[in-house]
Structure 1
């Protein structure tokens, strides 16, 4: 992939790792070869009397059936796991290639960036999904993709760089901008109960409205003029708004807010910088 003026500099390509296939193919060949050996060397030799075999010969046929079934199942599973779209990541856009289809998604048009953890990881974010709005499908890049941590680091920061100025402009014009979030307890439950990437994306979300001078969350209005500061806790990684009485009036886990980098950048601009 080459860079162009609209897409920007080409960053990298990411695709599902083929490691399972690299293991499955040799294993398939080995198990097939073993089955051939059992039939042509052992069974035929037993049948013509070259080898004495006191057991029922059917056990060898069952062994062949078991080995070939195992070989086929492992290969089919590896092929299934290795399927998925290829993402070509540019400075300003993402090209998603899936079989014969190709879609270009500009990073500035992405509304929701969902960061989550799967597998044995407990703290580290190893999945990212994005969509243009809450009625569109997610485009997930899971932990099975190559260079996933590099991809996550680039997309989350680049989205904030491109999306934040657009939101600030809308706020200055008097519009509200929605940010989607999910209860942190639901995210924790997904960590232990989800079976696959699709399960992680099947979540119940809520919406908060950000204005130039306030934040509306679940019918509660938080005016920025009444706040002392905004911060993100280094220890708990929570987004916090503190009022002048030094009481925390808003607290959300960073990963529970979609497009968290952009949300943090906006609060820093609207709360902290307005205090200077």
Structure 2
């Protein structure tokens, strides 16, 4: 009886030890699982935060690259073109808080490259802008004098139909008409000369805008690779560089555009240059 009791007690003790060991192992596994889940959630949160910031930065940098190309549009002020990028540039400072050291350095280099593009292109654009402004001024003057000339012509026709035109009045209208026509022709000749001067300069500047953008994009490749590495996203830098390689077709298209289509030369408004008097004499 005593031996049975001892065996039962021993068996219970061994079972208790086994259960205790199992519980400790389960608790250890649970703590490890909880720690793993905590680290996973923290990692996912960090990656999510990085993705959000990097996406915002990518959009801002893309806006900067777009502005580099848009600087060739002489109808818009350079400050107006750059403003969408400049208004978001300050928010990019967040990248220095969450990015790894290499990514932060590459980002600073790329942002500096875009800023340098703006400085260089705005300096190169200034003399072209001045020619464009002079051309547009002469275009406006030409149109104003052309409108005035047409108004005098209409006035002459109305008075003539009403039978109120004297010889003195005809001479006055003729003199005013000829003066407006001379001014219109002079401003048109000056505008055409400026347009001819502007065309090759604008073409060269447009080509330079694309080249500066391409150089900046190539600078962005290491930054893109570093960001995708942080986000655990694969990238083939060689393939990506090949995709971003400047196209020869683009250069040919630009040359064709500027060579065959002078978009800076507006057509001269249609108007009647003279009228014939009843006796066949050119009076206005």
Structure richer in strand, relative to its length: 1
TM-score scaled by structure 2?
A: 0.26
Task: Mark the structure with the bigger radius of gyration.
Answer: 2
Higher relative helix content? 2
What's the TM-score, normalizing by structure 1? 0.27
